[in-house]
Structure 1
Amino acid sequence: MIHADAVRVLNAWTPEEAGQQQLRHDYLAHLAEHPDGLWRSCRPAHITASALVVDPAAGRVLLTLHPKVGLWLQMGGHCEPGDETLAAAALREATEESGIAGLRLLAVGGAAEPAPVLLDSHQVRCAGKDQPENTHLDVQFLALAPEGAQEEISEESLDLRWFGFDALPELTDASLRRLVQLGRKLVG
């Protein structure tokens, strides 16, 4: 069950930064209080999963121009009932939104399986313009693109483009820039 996996993954993950440690505790508290804490229907907050698609050989990342947010972001979104793990949810979202088959989530810090690289809590209006904002408790992974990967834009995006590590578009936020910097360091 994905709920048990999320608890296991977050308990096993040891972030270096105090702010990330606090977010990890907040996410675990959310999951302890909400058996439905990974589903879009859980309000005012729910866990989401995302992945930054990285092409290490070319020194670039693939970003999507999100239609609701109006920013260039990593691939990601809501967990679905068919997702058995957080990593599976992040990989499914990255594959669907990038159109790239053969993505592989990075195992970091000597882990045997893919592990989060960052957590990010942000407000978003995912239930519609007439509904109150929700908090997305995003668990972020890195996805490695296979050599020669060809992206294909999905209906969930206004645009889809590769950007160099040092050439990110203006319409990004600090969270994405931080994720890209960390991704660059980890694939390095």
Structure 2
Amino acid sequence: MTDPVDPAREYAHLHADATAVLDRWSAPDAEQEELRRGYLTHLAAHPDGVAKAGPPAHLTGSCLVVDATGEHVLLTHHRRAGQWFQLGGHLEPGDATLYDAARREAREESGIPDLEPLPAPVQLDRHTLEGDFGRCREHLDVRYVARAAADAVPRVSAESHDVRWWPVDALPEGTRAELSPLVEAGRRALGLL
């Protein structure tokens, strides 16, 4: 009989990396600074706070993909949530860093194998989950941005109903309040604003 896996031990390297990333991240405004401090408080209280098998609220990594022109973003129509989002998801024990988790998720969910996000996060977003997400109740999302090559061709993954390029000024209905600030932060980080 094998011992059950301890998420705090299995994810210790990602917990340490996420703490370091958030410690050194310079938040662009007071709201983001409050989230940054809240994430650090959460991590300090939960050694397993980066694991899906940890507390119902845990860190995730995501990546907004911007096209080569800077005028479109690639969104996925999430199978479980039934809504359009940036690419991303849970950290896995094989991810070396929080950045690596966001990059892996972007590549898997977009089908674009050479995506390379900028090295620092562009936004934090804490949100409650609605729908069939098992024990997951809240994601403390750390969001990166990547620019796709002009010849990038996205493919739908098993986690999505669809992936599609959307004009930055015509995001899908019902997503604008959440995604518009991310699109602005991502485009600013890429030097497009």
What is residue 189 of structure 2 aligned with on the other side? 186
User: In the TM superposition, what is the alpha-carbon distance from 1:125 to its structure 2 partner?
Assistant: 5.0
For 1:3, what is the secondary structure of its paired residue? helix
SS in structure 2 at match of 1:91 = helix
- 1:101 paired with 2:102, answer no
Q: Which among 116, 123, 126 is matched to residue 121 of structure 1?
A: 126
Q: Deviations over 1:127-148 (max 9, x none)?
A: x46x565110000000121230
Q: Which amino acid in the other structure matches residue 44 of structure 1?
A: P
Structure-2 residue corresponding to 1:152: 155
Map 1:31-70 to 2 at 5 A.
Answer: 31-57=43-69, 59-70=71-82
The SS at the match of 2:88 is strand
Find the aligned partners of 2:44 and 2:189 in 1 and give their Cα distance: 31
Q: Cα RMSD (Å) of the superposition?
A: 1.6
Q: How many residues align?
A: 179
Match of 1:186, as an amino acid?
A
Provide structure 1 residue ranges, at least 5 long, that are not aligned to the other structure. 107-113
What is the letter of the counterpart of residue 171 of structure 1? G
Separation in 1, partners of 2:69, 2:39: 34
Question: Percent identity at matched positions?
Answer: 50
Structure 2 unmatched ranges of 5 or more: 1-12
TM-score w.r.t. the length of structure 1 is: 0.89
Q: 2: distance between equivalents of 1:21 and 1:84?
A: 25
Out of 135, 156, 165, the position equivalent to 2:168 is 165
Query: Out of 135, 139, 144, which is 1:141 matched to?
Result: 144
Residues 39, 173 of structure 1: alpha-carbon distance in 2 compared, 3 angstrom cutoff: farther
The within-5 A match list for 1:80-91 is 80-91=92-103
Q: Cα deviations across residues 19-58 of structure 1 (Å, max 9, x unaligned)?
A: 1111101111111111111001122310000000111425
> Helix, strand or coil for the counterpart of 1:158?
strand
Separation in structure 1 between the aligned mates of residue 78 and residue 68 of structure 2, nearest angstrom: 23
Q: Which of structure 1's runs of 4+ aligned residues deviate more than 2 A?
A: 184-187
